[in-house]
Chains A and B, each alone.
Chain A
Amino acid sequence: MIRKPKMVKIEKKVEETRAITSLYFHYSPWGFEKNDITPSVPFTPGQFFMVWVPQVDEIPISVSFHEPPNYWGITIKNVGEASGAICNLNVGEKLGIRGPLGKGFTLDIGQSIFLGGGVGLAPLRPAYFAYANSSLQPIVVNCAPCGEDLLYHAELEELAKNNVIIYDYATEDGSCGCQGLGTDLFRQVLDATLPEKTVEFAACCGPERMIVKTLEIVERYGITNFQASLERMMRCGMGLCGLCVLDPTGLRVCSDGPVFNGETLHSCTDFGQKVREFSGFKRDL
């Protein structure tokens, strides 16, 4: 794979919430083109693309859907110029894709639980979809400030109805599901689940402070396999520029991550504390 942007045509657009949009397209990285067959690009849930809008910017976005060999989806929250430009693209328009990049989740074959906060559910989606054909029902905990912000809510309800997953959700204002924080609901779900089942694997993505809290919870409940996806400013996305490095370990979020296990997160004093700006200037999270 050559990590150079390739322009792809948007084939489907889903406005998920007021601020979150999913885009779907066919894409094979440079170096993966063949005339006769379309080779499947190796992909692990949790990996990301660098997404380019010419004349605007290029930013890292998690892969939220993958259907081999080469149909992909990304889910973006409109929070600024670049993400706004991506959200405003329509079917038939083009954007540049580079990747998939980074190291994703190492999925466990046992009972799993996923906690997604806001758009943080996006990289977890291919992970819990990976269990769809198994007898295991992953538990998905979804949370958002209010009901209108709950990502993939209808899809998750449908999956739960078909017994593919067990679905729980919370909103801070109580407008949909339980009222409260995702981490509070996560704890309640564990309380209800653990007497009967052993949870082997917990995965989380969302605001970093939520990940910090979730790691504390899983440790209290004795779940040893915890993995979380982090977000940092990136330039190269392939381990060269060092902008996304976590101190003091020197681990690169773009290539050693973005998914890290609990033990690794503990060794990074930057985790939950510090981020680097685009200049390399380090500031409090």
Chain B
Amino acid sequence: MLQVDIGSLKLNSPFIMASGILGVSGSTLAKAHHAGAGAVVSKSLGPETREGYMNPSVIELFPDTFLNAVGLANPGIDEFAGEVAFAKKEGATVILSVFGGELGEYGEMAAKAEEMGADAVELNISCPHAHVSCIGADATLTDEVIRIVKAKTSLPVIAKLNPNVTDIVEIARTAEKAGADAVTAINTVRGMAIDIDAKCPVLANKSGGLSGKLLKPIAVKVVYDLYEALQIPIIGCGGIFDWRDAAEFFLAGAIAVEVGSALWRGFDLFGELANGMKKYLKNNNFSQLSEITGLAHRGATQL
């Protein structure tokens, strides 16, 4: 009922663990898989060890809404091979999130991801508090990086889109033309919190990316717009805390969704999402999730 295909990637569940959340170890990737995640996205990996930004790097602004500037901290892709192997051995479908300094490095990272047994790559061209966001903010660079990566790997390539742009639809169309197999919409929205007593930004990096509940209406709108412009699958992402949130994304046009911030509560969420969606489909007389993809574009259903 909930099976989805993202290009050649076949998932048993449309609920994916988003990048940056808990994906620093194979054990958590495996844990999300065992909890029912259809796929798991690793923390973004680059060519070498990166410390990232100092703390505070993650804070909560409102209940279930977070601001973070981790700064692409990662042990380096080579160091991560063992973690991928562990997650694969446990049966997880692993999407490796990758980034590079130069565009060419994205290709090298994707080739390494394929070598270490990943099932797909998600290109982080959108982290709002790091240099890579400029790629996802520029149609020419987006086109170039996707072509480079496609030439280096046969894995499905997913572009994670940057919402901090004037026209995200234009960037997404470019990604599609360049050969992206799917897009993830959206990465976090740029933001800042200032402590009025300390009289300075709270995050060590000053600015960061907003995630969690408050992101949902922004993300749903992006997915809705992309659905009208793209042929390739859209993976929705932003503020999904229960199956109702997920249903909004499916109705807007997403064929799968990534969940991140909500996982602070624990991994049981994956089971709850699947059960809730199955009930919703049944109650509305649908037999497959794909039947509701983009349904919101047809106007209100007769009740």
Query: Are A and B genuine complex partners?
Result: yes
Interface residues of A (CB under 8 A from B): 2-5, 7, 31, 50, 52, 54-55, 57-59, 94, 96, 98, 235-243, 245-250, 252, 255, 276, 278-282
Over the window 46-65 of chain B, the binary record of Cβ atoms lying under 8 Å from chain A Cβ atoms (1 yes, 0 no) is 00011110111111111100
Stretch at the interface among B67-75, B118-126, B142-150, B159-167: B67-75
Known contacts A3-B59, A235-B55; decide if A240 and B198 are in contact (CB<8 Å).
no
For this complex, 5 residue pairs linking A to B, each with C-beta atoms less than 8 Å apart, are A4-B193, A54-B198, A248-B86, A282-B25, A282-B75
**B228 contacts partner chain A, Cβ-Cβ < 8 Å:** no
Contacts of B264 in A (CB 8 A): 236, 238-240, 255
Q: What 0/1 pattern do residues 19 to 62 of B give for CB contact below 8 A with A?
A: 01111111110110000000000010000011110111111111
Q: Which residue of B lies closest to A276 (CB)?
A: B24
B200 contacts the other chain (Cβ, under 8 Å)?
yes
Count A/B pairs, Cβ under 8 Å: 137
Cβ contact within 8 Å between A5 and B74: no
Interchain CA distance A255-B58 in the complex, whole Å: 14
- 7 tightest Cβ-Cβ pairs between the two chains A and B: A242-B22, A236-B58, A250-B31, A58-B55, A7-B197, A281-B75, A3-B60
Interface residues of B in 108-154 (CB under 8 A from A): none
Chain B: minimal CB distance from A274 (Å): 10
Interface residues of B (CB under 8 A from A): 20-28, 30-31, 43, 49-52, 54-63, 66, 68, 70, 73-76, 79, 86, 193, 195, 197-198, 200, 202, 204, 260-261, 263-266
> Are B202's CB and A247's CB within 8 A?
no
CB-contact partner of A280 in B54, B60, B68, B74, under 8 A: B74
Residue from the list B26, B55, B62 in contact with A2, Cβ < 8 A = B62
Contacts of A248 in B (CB 8 A): 26-27, 30, 86
Whole-angstrom distance from the CB of B268 to the nearest CB of chain A?
13
State the Cβ distance, A232 to closest chain B Cβ, in Å: 12
A7 to B31, CA, bound (A): 36
Using CB atoms, name the residue of chain A closest to B73: A279
Enumerate chain A residues within 8 angstroms of B86, measured Cβ to Cβ.
247-248
- Chain A residues whose CB sits within 8 angstroms of the CB of B79 once the complex forms: 281-282
A273 to B28, CA, bound (A): 18
Q: Is the Cβ of B63 less than 8 Å from the Cβ of A2?
A: yes
B51 & A54 in contact (Cβ 8 Å cutoff): no
User: Given that A5-B195, A7-B197, A241-B70 are known contacts, is A236 also in contact with B57, CB under 8 Å in the complex?
Assistant: yes
Q: How far is the CA of A278 from the CA of B193 in the complex (A)?
A: 23
Contact between B197 and A242, CB atoms less than 8 A apart = no
Q: Complex: how many Å from CA A235 to CA B58?
A: 6
| Distance A234 CA – B62 CA, assembled complex (angstroms) | 21
A279 x B75 contact (CB < 8 A): yes
| Across-interface contacts of B59 in A (CB, < 8 A) | 3-5, 98
Residues of A within 8 Å of B55, CB to CB, are: 50, 52, 57-59, 235
Q: Which chain B residues border A96 with CB–CB below 8 Å?
A: 56, 195, 198, 202
- Cross-interface CB contact of B30 among A243, A250, A278, A282, cutoff 8 Å: A250
A245 touches B27 (CB 8 A): yes
Q: Which residue of A lies closest to B54 (CB)?
A: A57
Given A242-B23, A242-B25, output 10 extra A-B contacts at Cβ < 8 Å.
A4-B193, A59-B55, A94-B197, A96-B195, A96-B198, A239-B263, A241-B20, A249-B27, A250-B30, A282-B79
Q: State how many angstroms separate the Cβ of A198 from the closest Cβ of chain B.
A: 35
Q: How far is the CB of B222 from chain A (nearest CB, A)?
A: 23
Residues of A with C-beta under 8 A to B70? 235, 241
With A240-B264, A278-B52 in contact, is A4–B60 under 8 Å at CB?
yes
Contact B60 A238 (CB under 8 A): yes
Complex CA distance for A31 and B61, rounded to whole angstroms: 11
Chain B residues whose CB sits within 8 angstroms of the CB of A2 once the complex forms: 60-63
Residue in chain B with minimal CB distance to A249: B27
| B195–A240 touching, CB < 8 Å | no
Q: A122: shortest Cβ distance to chain B, in Å?
A: 20
Chain B hits for A239, CB < 8 A: 22, 263-266
CB distance from B99 to the nearest CB of A (A): 14
The CA-CA distance from A242 to B27 in the complex, in Å, is 10
Beta-carbon contact of B26 and A247 below 8 Å: yes
Set A31, A52, A242, A278: member contacting B21, Cβ < 8 A: A242
A31–B65 Cα gap in the complex (Å)?
14
B52 touches A279 (CB 8 A): yes
Report how far A246 CA is from B31 CA in the complex, Å.
12
In the complex, what residues of A have CB within 8 A of residue B52's CB?
278-279
Chain B residue numbers with a CB within 8 Å of A279 are 49-52, 73-76
Instruction: Determine whether the beta carbon of A7 is less than 8 Å from that of B25.
Output: no
A2 to B86, CA, bound (A): 35
Complexed CA–CA distance, A243 and B68 (Å): 14
When the two chains form their complex, are residues A281 and B198 in contact, meaning their CB atoms are under 8 A apart?
Answer: no
* A280 lies within 8 A of B24 (CB): yes
Report yes or no: B22 in contact with A240, Cβ–Cβ below 8 A: yes
Shortest Cβ distance from A233 into B: residue: B55
Q: Which residues of A contact B58 (CB under 8 A)?
A: 235-238, 240-241
**Chain B's nearest CB lies how many Å from the CB of A80?**
12
Measured CA separation A215–B52 after assembly (Å): 35
Closest A residue, CB atoms, query B197: A7
